[in-house]
Structure 1
Amino acid sequence: MDRQLVTQGAEGRVYVGDWLNHSVIIKQRFSKKYRHVDLDTHITQERIKAEARALTRCRSLGIRTPAVYDVNFDKREIILENITNSITVRNYIYAAVERDLSMDNREILSLAEKIGKVLAKMHSNHIIHGDLTTSNMLLIQPYESSEVILIDFGLSSVEERAEDKAVDLYVLERAVLSTHPNTEAFVSCCISAYKKAGSNAAEDVVKRLDEVRTRGRKKLCFG
């Protein structure tokens, strides 16, 4: 299979290629030389399984994610749908700023509401993403009416605790505020939509989020 390297990180490489007449993304995990080979193989397989399960479970719930085409444990790879003609939410916000849209513009807040709703649905089914950032969300044209597509579930897990869901939201909140200036209204709208869409369980998560924020501030102050 022909492939072209897109990016390389601490955990592995990401390629784009063609597979059975499909444009695909191939995620290949590195072996960790500091771990015993059997342990490393086991951990890698479990991470690949967790990612494939989370993606498949999200799709079964009506949450848009890339389709899982194949898993190859021998090659440490997962082969996913390549969602073409898409843009990350991160780049969409950057483009909005270039158009002189303020972060409390209705178009931007509508996107925040969409994100909040899809995360509430994901969490209500106990799926933890693990790396929620605006780079791990896609939109397809026409962007203003696109559903939010979640990608990169490499750190995902299944957890029922409100604490884990609150940490998931906190990761997103910090990612948005540190990447995009003046996005307090955006974050507030996202959390509000999450709370409204997710019933009583979501309210518990939002309450726990305040505790997570407090711990985060203390860590920043005292190390």
Structure 2
Amino acid sequence: MKLLKKGAEADIYQTKWQNSKAILKIRKIKRYRNFSLDSKIRKQRTIKESQMLSLVKSYGIPTPLVYFVNLDKTSIIMQEISGKPIHDLPERKIIELSKEIGKLVGKLHKNGIMHGDLTTSNFILFQNKVYVIDFGLSQISIKPEDHAVDLRLIKEILNSAHAKIMIPSWKNFLYGYKSIVGDAYYRKITKLVSDIESRGRYAQVV
């Protein structure tokens, strides 16, 4: 078993499941919380994430298969998607795939799901298909405000991690998103994104 990532909420390991490459995600104990409360929260989040992965797949969105859930250890063993994170691809490829990412996010929102952690590291290209991973912060939500927060985050990521190609990537993302959610909802969400940005600028000035 190999440690791939130490996160604030969970540690990610590379492992095996019935001779297949797999990912083991273990939620961390938060020692500053009451032990029984912490255990309850970690179990609830583990259940929710495993359910969300399966739910999203039912909408035709590529996600890892869930192999096994251990509530005592608050862990999930899931399929390893052996591709490359979009974050690590050549710039021209990121621009090209931003349209597909936009479509996938559009499908999530159209089906009432907020991802909660939309970064280019949470989309993986594998066998010419883009997979969405890490639903640890996701939630069922039809609120336009929540969907706008999703879009605002991916825009920030493009602006910080991919600054040179931010404009064409964001344009392609919005094109793909709009093709799924429709013109009216697209206008509503992008207006909310602008509102969030303006509040941020005001807060910085103050």
One fold, TM greater than 0.5? yes
| C-alpha displacement of 1:189 | 2.1
- Aligned partners of 1:192, 1:52: CA distance in 2, in Å? 30
Contact 1:195 1:206 in 2 (8 A): no
Q: For 1:211, which of 192, 195, 200 is the aligned residue?
A: 195
Paired residue for 1:91? 88
Deviations 1:177-201 (A, max 9, x none): 1001221221122123212321233
Contact 2:69 2:75 in 1 (8 A): yes
Equivalent AA in structure 1 for residue 100 of structure 2: K
| C-alpha displacement of 1:47 | 1.1
Paired residue for 2:125? 139
Q: Does 2:113 correspond to 1:116?
A: no
Distance 1:34 1:112, change over 3 A: same
Contact 1:120 1:202 in 2 (8 A): no
- Aligned partners of 2:94, 2:5: CA distance in 1, in Å? 29
Q: Does 2:104 correspond to 1:156?
A: no
1:51-90 alignment, distance < 5 Å: 51-84=49-82, 86-90=83-87
Count of aligned pairs between the two proteins: 204
| C-alpha displacement of 1:108 | 4.5
Q: For 1:19, which of 10, 17, 20 is the aligned residue?
A: 17
| C-alpha displacement of 1:204 | 2.1
Deviations 1:25-55 (A, max 9, x none): 0000111111111111111111112211221
| C-alpha displacement of 1:115 | 0.9
| C-alpha displacement of 1:164 | 0.2
Structure 1, 154-163 or 191-200: larger mean CA deviation: 191-200
| C-alpha displacement of 1:163 | 0.1
Equivalent AA in structure 1 for residue 148 of structure 2: A
- Aligned partners of 2:47, 2:168: CA distance in 1, in Å? 37
| C-alpha displacement of 1:140 | 1.6
Structure 1, 193-202 or 70-79: larger mean CA deviation: 193-202
Contact 1:32 1:40 in 2 (8 A): yes
Equivalent AA in structure 1 for residue 19 of structure 2: N
Contact 1:124 1:201 in 2 (8 A): no
Structure 1's consecutive aligned runs of 4 or more residues displaced over 4 angstroms after TM superposition are none
Q: For 1:186, which of 162, 169, 172 is the aligned residue?
A: 169
Paired residue for 1:201? 185
Distance 1:148 1:220, change over 3 A: farther
Matched residue SS, 1:148? strand
Equivalent AA in structure 2 for residue 219 of structure 1: A
| Pairwise CA RMSD | 1.5
- Aligned partners of 2:19, 2:72: CA distance in 1, in Å? 23
- Aligned partners of 1:72, 1:202: CA distance in 2, in Å? 39
Contact 2:23 2:77 in 1 (8 A): yes
